[in-house]
Structure 1
Amino acid sequence: MLRPTYPIKTRRLALRPYAADDLDALFAIESRADVCKYLYWEPRTRAEVAADLERRMATTTLENEGDALRLAVTLLDTGELIGGVMLAWRSVEHSGGEIGFVLHPDHHGRGYAGEAAVQLLRLGFEDLGLHRVFARLDAANRPSGRLLERLGMRFEGRFRENEFVKGAWTDEAVYAMLAHEWRDLTEG
């Protein structure tokens, strides 16, 4: 089980559970076509974001296989919500987890996604004791792929036209890291 102490702070960010007053900021992110380009959904309506926000507010611990932490990423100095991250417990038997991240485009290129993702890897490996953490993404999303590589995650493969998303077949890229690779990065 994983029950983090919130907020999880980095040098510039705070990761925390979502709150009801995050609706405007979350809608400003998820209603954008450029944000949703590589996601499973089209730009969301305010009502859709509000419904999803309710689900996000309830995901603050990992207790069982299939659970996911979905946390708001905020700027430490201002509290501004700039995106979200996810750590999912995918398999108890195989000790596996998955990470994901979405940031408002105004905050791309500043290292925020990497800073937040490092905390997800730390939670997965050090606090939950996972053996393997992976990330899946649309293979056309090269900026996110490069970020995962900078984090030390290994490109494991490209699955050709394995998902039908928004009316088209898409390729999926998978990146992963093992617990001993995480230790080598953080202890070395």
Structure 2
Amino acid sequence: MPMSPSAALRPTYPIRTERLLLRPLTDADVDALLAYRGRRDVCRYLPFEPMTREVIETRLANDFARRELTDEGQALTLGIEVAATGALVGDVVLFWHSRLHESGEIGYVLRHDVTGRGYATEAVTELLRLGFAELGLHRIIARLDERNEPSARLARRLGMREEARLVHNEFFKGEWSTELDFALLAVEWRARTFG
């Protein structure tokens, strides 16, 4: 049954997980964002080039400034802060694609020096909760480059099902890229979460 026309996501910040705080990004985050979003190796499989300070400042004033989702076509980007240290170690994004189809998409990027600590799993687990339990989405997808094995492992760890392998579907950063599409339904998320 499609979501009500008044459906929206208006979180109270910061959103606390076991070790992390998910929160809106601010102008104070420019240097921390530049430390990972400005790196070619971090951005290798992401749909943007390494960002300059100016690009980050523009994004902070525009799309990163969103603090809620009120309609389809919007995206909510939240910083991943380690609660114990206050360090910004990455960010996650929830896209609301369609009100009728109750569909969304997740994305994530982490600082290169903090991978392997479970921060992405913890942050994206909370992002899925926001999408399914708070916004009421029916289906959430993740699309990634096949060569990005850590992202594929994360999607699988979260219980997402690989639904498609699109061979050389996009000319991406100077070469043909094979895309993997993962998905999770609300009913599957509830079964995994509440068992």
TM-score (structure 1 length as normaliser)? 0.97
2:41 equivalent to 1:31: no
* Match 1:54 to one of 52, 61, 72: 61
Unaligned runs of 5+ in 2: 1-7
Residue type at the aligned position of 1:144: S
- Deviation at residue 79 of structure 1 after TM alignment: 1.1
1:7 aligns with 2:30: no
* 2:63–2:75 Cα contact (<8 Å) kept: no
Q: Does the Cα contact within 8 Å between 1:18 and 1:56 map onto a contact in 2?
A: no
* Pairwise CA RMSD: 1.0
Cα distance, 1:89 vs. partner?
A: 0.5
Q: Which amino acid aligns with 1:129?
A: G
- Measure, in 2, the Cα distance between the counterparts of 1:178 and 1:57: 27
How many residue pairs get aligned? The number is: 188
Deviation of 1:107 (Å): 0.7
Letter in 2 for 1:31: G
1:122 deviates by 0.2
Question: In structure 1, what residue type is equivalent to 2:192?
Answer: L
Q: 2:96 is matched with which residue?
A: 89
Match of 2:161 in 1: 154
Instruction: Give the letter aligned to residue 105 of structure 1.
Output: H
What amino acid does structure 2 have at the position aligned with 1:167? G
CA deviations on 1:45-67 (whole Å, 9 max, x unpaired) are 21112212222442111111011
Distance in 2, matches of 1:95 and 1:82, equals: 30
In 1: Cα distance, 2:49 partner to 2:75 partner: 22
User: Which region of structure 1 is more displaced relative to structure 2, 112-121 or 153-162?
Assistant: 153-162
Picking from 66, 79, 82, the partner of 1:75 is 82
Fraction of identical pairs, as percent: 54
| AA of the residue aligned to 2:179 | E
Displacement of 1:168 after TM fit? 1.8
Question: Is the CA contact 2:25–2:64 (under 8 Å) kept in the aligned structure 1?
Answer: yes
C-alpha separation between the residues in 1 aligned to 2:64 and 2:41? 25
Query: Could you tell me whether the CA contact under 8 Å between 1:41 and 1:166 is conserved in 2?
Result: no
1:110-149 pair list within 5 angstroms: 110-149=117-156
Matched, 1:40 2:47: yes
Cα deviations by residue, 1:147-178 (Å, 9 ceiling, x for unpaired): 11011111111111112211222111111100
Identify the range of structure 1 (57-66 vs 12-21) with the bigger mean alpha-carbon deviation: 57-66
Cα distance in structure 2, aligned partners of 1:148 and 1:11 = 20
Tell me the TM-score normalised to structure 2 length: 0.93
